Amino acid sequence: MKKVFIIWGCILSAMMLSQKMTFVYDLKFKPNPNKPDLTTETYYLDILEKESAFRCERERVSDSMIQRKGLGLGRSPVFNSQIYVVKNLETANVQKVIFMSLFNDKYFINIEENLNWKILSDKKKIEDFECQKATVEYGGRSWIAWFTQSIPIPEGPYIFNGLPGIIVNISDDQENYNFNLIKIKKLEKDNLFFSKKGTTISWEDFQKIQSDYYADPFAELKARNIKIQSGDEKGNLIPTDLNKMTKQLKKQIRENNNPIELNHKIDYE
C-alpha cells in the first residue's frame, strides 16, 4: 500500500462529520481462477451523507458523463467484471448494479445475504492504521477483513459493511479478490452522479440474462435490425463477421468466469 494516509486529524474529522468522503481501493483479482494472472483496477467508494456508491473508475466517469451529456462509456461484455454496488446507509439497503453491454440497460439485485461478521482479537498495523481482523462468509467465499476504528465509519468496498470502522483490506481466503485501501480524500462534488432508474431483478433473472447473452451476444442488434460494420486497413467499411465475433466473445466469457458471488456462477459450455 502506498504511503497516502498522512492526513491531518482535524481534516479527517471534518470529512467524517460531513459524511462526504471518497475511499480509493486497489482491487487485484483473478479473471480465471485456474491461472495465476492477476488484473488490477482502481475502485472508488464515494460516501455522500446517507448514500454510497462503489464502482470502478470507468463506471464513475461514465455515470458523470450520463448525467451531464446523456451518454456514457461502453460496458464490458463480461458481467463478472461489473463490481458495482450502491448502499442506503440509513436503511442498510444494498443493491448490486448490472449493465447490459450493448444498450446500457440497468438492473438492480437486492443483496439480502446477511453479513455475520466474526470479530477476532488479531491486530496489526497497516500503514498508519491500527487494524483488527474480522471474518465473514459471503457469495460462496470466505473473507478475511482488516478494519480500523480510527475511522469509525461502518463501510467498506463492494457489499462489505457493518464493522465498527472502515475496512482497510479484505480478501477471500483463496486470494481471488483482494481489495486494498490506497487513498482517502474529500468527495469532490455534492453528487454521486448515480441514476436510480432501472429494473430490480432476482439472481435467477440475472443468471437467465447472462445465459441468454452467452447464447447470442448480438440478439438485440439483430432484433433491432442494426448492422455492424468495421473498417479495413484502407478505411473502407466492411460487414462484420458476427459468427466470428460471437465465438470470440463466448471464449472471453468462458475464460473470465470467476464471479465474486461464486454461489451464482454459471458453468458455460
CA distance 38 to 29: 5
Phi then psi for residue 46, to 5 deg, are -100, 125
Tally of CB atoms within 10 A around 239: 9
* pLDDT at residue 196, as a whole number: 82
Place of cell 485501501: 181
pLDDT digits (tens, 9 = 90+) for 194-234: 878 889 999 999 999 889 889 988 877 777 776 666 655 66
Q: Are strands 106-110 and 199-201 parallel, antiparallel or unpaired?
A: parallel
Place of cell 477471500: 172
pTM of the model: 0.87
C-alpha neighbours within 13 Å on the C-beta side of residue 180: 16
CA-based end-to-end distance of the chain: 39
Q: What's the grid cell of residue 257?
A: 468466469
Residues 6 or more apart from 57 whose CB is under 8 A from it? 41, 42, 43, 44
Residues 16, 20, 26: CA angle, nearest 5 degrees: 90
pLDDT band at 1 (very low <50, low <70, confident <90, very high): very low
Q: Rounded to the nearest 10 degrees, how much is the dihedral formed by the CA atoms of 8, 12, 15, 20? A: 110
pLDDT digits (tens, 9 = 90+) for 87-118: 998 899 999 999 875 566 889 999 999 999 99
CA distance 259 to 173: 15
* pLDDT at residue 119 greater than cutoff 90: yes
